[in-house]
Structure 1
Amino acid sequence: MLERLFFLFHRVGRVARARMWRIAGQPAFARRGRASKIFGWRAIRVGKRATIGDACWIQAVERYGGQSFRPSISIGDDVHLSDAVHISAVSSIEIGNGCLLGSRIYIGDHAHGDSADGAHRAMSPARRPLARVEPIRIGDDCWICDGAVILAGTRLAPGCIVAANAVVRLTADAACVIAGNPATIVKRL
C-alpha cells in the first residue's frame, strides 16, 4: 500500500513539474532528470514524450564573446536522452523522432577557434571565437551509443547507429553503422 502511494505521489509530481515548465515557457520533457540544465530555452523545441536523464546540459547559445547567433534545437517525439548528454547549438541541431541517445554524448555544431589558420593558437580555447559552425541533422530512429561525439556538419539518415566512443563528422545518406575515431561507415543496414 505504501509503495503504491509513493508511486502515485511520484507520478503526480512528474506531471506537475512538466506542466510548470510548460507554463514558464520552457521546453517540457515527459521526464526530466536531476541536475539537468537548459539554457536558451526560447530556441529549443521538444516533441511529445521526450525524456532527458540526469546531469544533461542543453544550450542554445545566442551570444559568445563578441559573436551573436540565432540557434535552434529541435528534439523530436519519443526521443530519449540518457544521463550526461551535452547538446550545444549556435546554428541548428535537429534530432528526429524515436532516437535513443546513450550516456556521456556530446553534440555540438561549432568549435572553439579554427586551428587550421593558426591565428588563434596563442589564445586559450575559451577565448577563441567560435568557428566551423555547421548545422547537424540526426534522422528518425537513430541510436547513438555511449560516449559518442557528433561534430558540426554531421548528417545522419534515419536508422543510423553510431557506435560507442565514435567521433563523427560525416554525412550518412542511408541507414548504416558508424564507428571509429575519426568515424567511418563500417556497415550498411
Structure 2
Amino acid sequence: MNCKPSALKLVSRVKSETLTDLKSFCRRSIELMSCDVSSYAKGRYRLWLFHECNLKTGKITKGYYDDRLWNFCQRVYSGTNIGLLTFGGKVGNIQSTGLIQLHRDHSYSQVIARTVNLGSCIFNYDGKDYQLNDGDIIEFNCKKLHGVTKILSEERFSINLWKLNEVKGYKPVV
C-alpha cells in the first residue's frame, strides 16, 4: 500500500484479541528498554527491534528479535526490517515521557513508516495534530516533520516500523 507523500492515514486497527497480548508483551519489554539518546526524545524509553541504527555514525547492528513480534510486524508492514518500541508512562522505578519533538527520521529508513499505537496520544504530523487511539495503525511519510506531543492515556506504547534504505547503503545485518 502506498502513501501519498503528504498524507497520514489510518491503515488498520489491531484486533481486540491481539491487543491484550501485544500490550502484555510491551509491558514485559520495558525491562529491556533504555533511555533514548536522541536530543529530540529526552526522557523517553525505547528498544530497537530487528536492527538498530547508531544515529551518529549510521552503523546498522542487530536489534532485539522475537519471532512472534516479527510475524506480527510483517503483517502490519510487509518487508519491515527495523523498528522501535517506545514507552510512555511509569512502571516501578522507570518513568518515561514517551514524547518526541518534531523531527524527520534519519536516512537509514525509506520514506514510508508505519506506527502501531497502543494507548492514546497526540501525534503532530506536517503541522497538524491527530489523536491516535488504542490499536490504531497509521502510515505516513517519515521525512516530513512529526512527533508525539502529548500522552493522553496512563501508559502508551508505540511500535514504529520502517524498511532500511538500502539505496543509501543501510543494509540488514546477516
Range class of TM-score, shorter chain: under 0.3
Q: Which has the larger radius of gyration?
A: 1
Greater RCO, CA 8 A, separation 6+ = 2
Structure (1/2) with the larger strand percentage: 2
Q: TM-score, normalised by structure 1?
A: 0.22
